[in-house]
Amino acid sequence: MKLIILDRDGVINFDSAQFIKSPDEWKPIPGSLAAIAKLNQAGYRVVVATNQSGVGRGLFDMDTLNAIHEKMVKSLAQVGGRLDAIFFCPHTSADNCNCRKPRAGMLHEIAKRFNADLTGVPAVGDALRDLQAAITVDAKPYLVLTGKGKKTAADPALPPDTQTFPDLAAVVTHLLAEK
């Protein structure tokens, strides 16, 4: 089974320092939805793992988060793409949970759900915490320069094996060329 793990905000859709708090605020990064559809066509199972502390902060509720994800899923379907699962952490960093990246709880849940070893599985993110979670489970970290990516690329704590690409579409082009 070919599996890939994607962060949401800053990878699939534009991010906001004020959080994505409604379906209207969710806007795909150009090329990201088509890139996911290409992964689907190449036989990849595509899973999203996203921190959503806006829920824990009271900025939006679970119904709103579900509506945002529904818009993402419908937008993907319009270009022939799909997600196999969406995992999210609704907690704030003060909650000290195991699922919030950079901890790897969500990734362990993905491994369990898909009965998969995550060693070498591509994990795409725009923030250092995405890459740190990937390294914890021996997944292969890919940094995109969209979202927080340009700032992350300059971080001295960037995991040494991280491959950097302009956006998700470039990551997908690279992965599909490897096969």
List, for residues 146-160, the tens digit of each pLDDT value: 999 999 999 999 999
**Domain span holding position 108:** 2-178
Report residue 178's pLDDT band, with 50, 70 and 90 as the boundaries.
Answer: confident
Catalytic annotation, pick one of 9, 126, 130, 167 = 9
List, for residues 95-147, the tens digit of each pLDDT value: 999 999 999 999 999 999 999 999 999 999 999 999 999 999 999 999 999 99
CATH number, domain with residue 146: 3.40.50.1000
Q: How many domains does the chain have?
A: 1
Q: What pTM does this model have? A: 0.97
DSSP state of 168: H
Catalytic annotation, pick one of 7, 15, 130, 167 = 7
- Chain position carrying tokens 């509506």: 67
**Cβ(166)–Cβ(124) under 8 Å?**
no
Active site residue 167: no
**Cβ(128)–Cβ(92) under 8 Å?**
no
List, for residues 57-101, the tens digit of each pLDDT value: 999 999 999 999 999 999 999 999 999 999 999 999 999 999 999
Active site residue 7: yes
Does residue 53 carry a pLDDT above 70?
yes
